[in-house]
Amino acid sequence: MDKAEYTTWLEIDLGAIRNNLRQLQQITKKPVMAVVKANGYGHGIVEVSKAAQEAGVGWLGVARIDEALAIRRGGVQCRILVFGYTPPERIPEAIENGISQSVYDPQIAEAYAGQARRAGGVLPVHVKFDSGMGRLGLFPEQGVDFVKWLNRQEGLQVQGIFTHFARADEPLLSTTDWQIGRFQGMIDELQALQLRPQWVHACNSAGSLYFPQGYFDMVRSGIAVYGIDPSPEAPLPAGFRPAMSLKTTLVSIKELPAGYGVGYNHHYFTQKTERVGVLSVGYADGFRRRLGAEAILRGNRVPVLGTVCMDQCMVQIDSVPDAAVGDEVVLLGSQGAVSISAEDLGREWNTSPYEVVCGMSARPERIYVDHSSRE
């Protein structure tokens, strides 16, 4: 579809996604699992998965089985790992669709094995270890016994072992080093017993950039794939590009007299006669309801007046005399030399850029482009 048909849309640069994955492959020299859960961090799970496959990625990571099934329905062949819990009754679907599943609990693993046997198949599993995240996973000290036990479960095949870092995006190195050490100790024990599976993995994006000692057989990267810094302390190196822009349209222009209240609860009053534009974007699109927002119009930053409404917001456009109804306006991304990044919005919204992109709603159409030629 042509974007002219929409008033508000998310422009997703699949060239940036492919580029960022290649950067990660070059930096780590390891296979990369592209983490595409949460609708590809808001970018669109099927299209991002296809772009990852084109970039030579062999693995995709998701949180839920329904995400994995959506990828398969999209025709993507990559291996897929479900990180989170899957109800045992759905294991036959996982097997049928070639999906690997995390296991972190003997009772659940037993139920999975039972379902796999009943379905007449084998479920490939990756054992999840809690080396210091305090979330899903067995402690590494339980690893050898659990892997031995799993190997005896007919219907399961131990394909991988993994852990997740809690603080790899912080300047403090000691926690991640400690996690890697704990995990490595268990892997060494398994290796000595010839129980080490094919795929051992630990690093998220920050780990992939800053902790080569944690690479093992593969890295799992999410935020870096989308061209966003894991944190201010763990920035991306040069060469990565953000993939998402949020764009809208200027749909009305009028002059308001001095002292005129703008928007719900009149959080703004005009100081003088002011030209005010109405944008067709609001918090129901993912552009948060807050004071002090900004937009880019004809290459100029313009202030959003008052609070953002559900479907619209108002901007002061005195600094852009040639602005016209129909103009494209950028809320996230670049126009001319001016840009507003997910990191900027994260700071302004008092949250992380992860939440900025994952928080884009289903309403704005995702329009897929490839800006590689602009590099």
Ligand X SMILES: Cc1ncc(COP(=O)(O)O)c(C=O)c1O
Point out the residues that are catalytic. 37, 264
**Per CB under 6 A, 205 contacts ligand X:** yes
Nearer to ligand X (CB atom), residue 207 or residue 286: 207
Nearer to ligand X (CB atom), residue 9 or residue 165: 165
**Per CB under 6 A, 222 contacts ligand X:** yes
170, HSE (Cβ side, Cα atoms, 13 Å): 9
Nearer to ligand X (CB atom), residue 100 or residue 205: 205
**Per CB under 6 A, 211 contacts ligand X:** no
**Per CB under 6 A, 220 contacts ligand X:** yes
Shortest spacing between CB 265 and ligand X, in angstroms: 36
* DSSP 8-state assignment for residue 158: E
Shortest spacing between CB 309 and ligand X, in angstroms: 31
**Per CB under 6 A, 221 contacts ligand X:** yes
Query: Residue 209 CA to chain centroid, in angstroms?
Result: 16
Q: What is the largest CA-CA distance in the chain?
A: 80
Nearer to ligand X (CB atom), residue 123 or residue 236: 236
* Placement of tokens 């003088």 in the chain: 272
How many chain residues interact with ligand X (CB under 6 A)?
Answer: 12
Q: Please, what's the b/e burial string for 266-303 (b: 16 or more CB within 10 A of its CB; e: otherwise)?
A: eebebeeebbbbbbbbbbbbbbbeeeebbbbbbeebbb
Which burial class, exposed, middle or buried, applies to 255 when counting CB atoms under 10 A from its CB (0-12, 13-18, 19+)? exposed
Among 99, 113, 116, 223, binds ligand X (CB under 6 A): 223
Nearer to ligand X (CB atom), residue 304 or residue 360: 360
Shortest spacing between CB 164 and ligand X, in angstroms: 4
* Interface stretch with ligand X, choices 6-14, 44-52, 219-227, 263-271 (CB under 6 A): 219-227
Q: Residues 104 to 133: which contact ligand X by CB under 6 A? A: none
Question: How far apart (Å, rounded) are the C-alpha atoms in residues 316 and 293?
Answer: 11
**Per CB under 6 A, 100 contacts ligand X:** no
* Interface stretch with ligand X, choices 52-60, 218-226, 231-239, 301-309 (CB under 6 A): 218-226
Listed in sequence order, the residues at least 6 apart from 318 whose beta carbon sits closer than 8 Å to its beta carbon are: 274, 275
Question: How far apart (Å, rounded) are the C-alpha atoms in residues 297 and 279?
Answer: 10
Shortest spacing between CB 93 and ligand X, in angstroms: 21
Q: How do strand 199-201 and strand 268-269 relate by DSSP bridges? A: unpaired
**Per CB under 6 A, 43 contacts ligand X:** no
Shortest spacing between CB 38 and ligand X, in angstroms: 9
Question: How far apart (Å, rounded) are the C-alpha atoms in residues 273 and 291?
Answer: 21
Q: Is the dihedral of CA 204, 205, 206, 211 positive or negative?
A: positive
* Interface stretch with ligand X, choices 48-56, 145-153, 215-223, 299-307 (CB under 6 A): 215-223
Shortest spacing between CB 288 and ligand X, in angstroms: 21
Nearest to 12 by CA among 339, 242, 345, 250: 242
**Per CB under 6 A, 176 contacts ligand X:** no
Nearest to 281 by CA among 369, 365, 368: 365
Q: Report the residue number whose CB is nearest to ligand X.
A: 222
Q: Residues 79 to 98: which contact ligand X by CB under 6 A? A: 83
Shortest spacing between CB 208 and ligand X, in angstroms: 7
Q: Which whole-number Å values give the CA distances from 285 to 44, 311, 356, 357, 362, in the listed order?
A: 15, 7, 11, 11, 7
Among 35, 246, 304, 308, binds ligand X (CB under 6 A): 35
**Per CB under 6 A, 40 contacts ligand X:** no
- Residue 367 has phi, psi (to 5 degrees) of -110, 125
Using CB under 6 A, list all residues that contact ligand X. 35, 61, 83, 164, 204-205, 220-224, 230
